[in-house]
C-alpha cells in the first residue's frame, strides 16, 4: 500500500525507507526489543544444551516459516505450489492454509503489503487483508504464524499494523477485526484463526516505551557493520623500517 524500501542489512534490525528518505524501524524490530516472548519461550530456551544449538534450531524453524509464508502467498495468488522439497511439518501447515481457504472462503483485498505509522514511527509488512463472509466486520487483517505458540509480541505486532491502516484512513478501526492465522501441524484441520482484541492503549504505551529508550540510543535508524580493508601496507615515508637504521654496536 505504501512504496517503502526494506533495509534489512543493518546490525540493529530491519528498517524501512519511504520515497522522501524518512526512516522507520520495522514493527518486528520494535517488538523484539521491548515485548517478551513469554514464559514458554524462555523455558524452551533454558532447556537447550547451548546457545549455539538454540540459535541453529531457531534459524531452521525461521527458514521453514518463511518458506511456508511464501507458499501460502503463492496459493492466495492463484498459483499451484510444488511441495516436493518441503518437510512434512511444513506440508501440514500449507494444507492447513488450504483448509482455512476452503472453510472461510476469503476474498483477498491485498497480500504482503507494506504500511507505516508516522505518528509512532514504524513500518512493516502485513500478510493479508481480506473479507471473510462468516465474520462480522467488513475487513479482516490477518497475520500468519507458524511458531509453536502465540506470544504477546505477535499480538502487539498485529495491533500496530491495524493502527497504521487506521491512521492513514485505509481501513478504520470500526471496519475491521484482526486475527492471527496460526498454522498448526499438530491439529487435524491444520490451522486456528484466532481473533485478537485491538487495545489502543497497548499500541500507545508500547511505542512510547520504545521511542523513549531507543531514540537516545540512536536505534531509530539503521547501523551498518564497519568495513575493513582486505590488505594493508605501511607508508615508507613515515617511521623506520627494519634494517634501515644502523645499530650502535
**Domain containing residue 183: CATH number:** 3.40.1350.10
Tell me: pLDDT of 226 over 80.
no
Within a domain: 211: yes
Tell me: pLDDT of 242 over 90.
no
Within a domain: 248: no
Tell me: pLDDT of 45 over 60.
no
Within a domain: 233: no
And the C-alpha cell for 132? 471473510
139-145: strand order across its sheet:
107-117, 122-131, 139-145, 176-183, 191-196
And the C-alpha cell for 172? 478504520
Tell me: pLDDT of 2 over 70.
yes
23-25: strand order across its sheet:
5-7, 15-17, 23-25
Q: How confident is the model at residue 32 (pLDDT cuts 50, 70, 90)?
A: confident
pLDDT averaged over the chain? Answer: 85
- Residue from 9, 206, 30 nearest 124 by CA: 30
Within a domain: 247: no
Within a domain: 107: yes
For residue range 47-71, what is the model confidence (pLDDT) as tens digits? Answer: 666 766 655 655 566 678 789 999 9
Number of domains in the chain: 1
How many beta carbons lie within 10 A of that of residue 80, not counting itself?
A: 7
**Range with top average pLDDT, 7-21, 79-93, 158-172:** 158-172
Within a domain: 47: yes
Q: How confident is the model at residue 122 (pLDDT cuts 50, 70, 90)?
A: very high
β-strands 107-117, 122-131: how paired?
antiparallel
Tell which wins on pLDDT, 192 or 219: 192
Tell me: pLDDT of 147 over 60.
yes
Within a domain: 225: no
Task: Please name the residue that has the C-alpha cell 485491538.
Answer: 198
For residue range 95-118, what is the model confidence (pLDDT) as tens digits? Answer: 999 999 999 999 999 999 999 999
Range of the domain at 118: 5-216
And the C-alpha cell for 55? 540459535
Whole-number pLDDT of residue 214:
60
Q: How confident is the model at residue 238 (pLDDT cuts 50, 70, 90)?
A: confident
**Range with top average pLDDT, 61-70, 168-177, 213-222, 240-249:** 168-177
Q: How confident is the model at residue 212 (pLDDT cuts 50, 70, 90)?
A: confident
Whole-number pLDDT of residue 249:
58
Gap between the Cα atoms of 154 and 143, Å rounded: 9
SS3 per residue for the chain: CCCCEEECCCCCCCEEECCCCCEEEEHHHHHHHHCCCCHHHHHHHHCCCCHHHHHHHHHHHHHHHHHHHHHHHHHHCCCCCCCCCCCHHHHHHHHHHHHHHHHHCCEEEEEEEEEEECCCCEEEEEEEEEECCCCCCCEEEEEEECCCCCCHHHHHHHHHHHHHHHHCCCCCCCCEEEEEEEECCCCCCCEEEEEECCCHHHHHHHHHHHHHHHHHCCCCCCCCCCCCCCCCCCCCCCCCCCCCCCCCC
Tell me: pLDDT of 8 over 70.
yes
Tell me: pLDDT of 244 over 70.
no
- Residue from 132, 139, 76 nearest 104 by CA: 132
Amino acid at each position: 500500500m505504501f512504496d517503502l524500501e526494506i533495509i534489512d542489512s543493518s546490525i540493529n534490525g530491519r528498517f524501512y525507507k519511504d520515497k522522501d528518505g524518512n526512516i522507520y524501524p520495522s514493527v518486528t524490530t520494535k517488538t523484539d526489543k521491548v515485548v517478551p516472548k513469554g514464559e514458554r519461550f524462555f523455558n524452551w530456551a533454558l532447556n537447550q544444551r547451548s546457545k549455539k544449538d538454540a540459535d541453529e534450531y531457531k534459524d531452521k524453524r525461521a527458514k521453514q516459516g518463511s518458506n511456508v509464508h511464501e507458499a501460502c502467498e503463492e496459493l492466495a495468488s492463484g498459483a499451484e505450489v510444488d511441495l516436493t522439497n518441503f518437510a512434512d511439518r511444513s506440508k501440514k501447515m500449507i494444507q492447513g492454509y488450504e483448509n482455512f481457504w476452503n472453510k472461510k472462503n476469503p476474498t483477498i483485498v491485498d497480500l504482503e503489503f507494506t504500511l507505516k505509522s508516522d505518528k509512532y514511527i514504524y513500518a512493516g509488512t502485513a500478510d493479508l487483508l481480506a473479507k471473510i463472509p462468516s465474520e462480522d466486520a467488513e475487513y479482516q487483517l490477518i497475520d500468519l504464524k507458524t511458531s509453536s505458540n502465540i506470544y504477546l509480541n505477535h499480538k502487539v505486532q498485529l495491533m500496530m499494523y491495524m493502527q497504521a491502516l487506521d491512521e492513514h484512513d485505509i481501513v478504520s478501526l470500526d471496519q475491521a477485526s484482526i486475527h492471527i492465522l496460526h498454522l498448526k501441524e499438530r491439529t487435524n484441520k491444520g490451522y486456528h484463526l484466532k481473533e485478537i482484541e485491538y487495545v489502543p492503549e497497548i499500541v500507545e504505551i508500547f511505542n512510547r516505551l520504545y521511542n523513549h529508550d531507543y531514540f537516545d540510543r540512536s536505534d531509530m535508524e539503521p547501523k551498518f557493520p564497519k568495513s575493513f580493508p582486505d590488505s594493508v601496507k605501511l607508508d615508507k615515508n613515515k617511521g623506520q623500517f627494519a634494517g634501515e637504521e644502523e645499530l650502535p654496536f
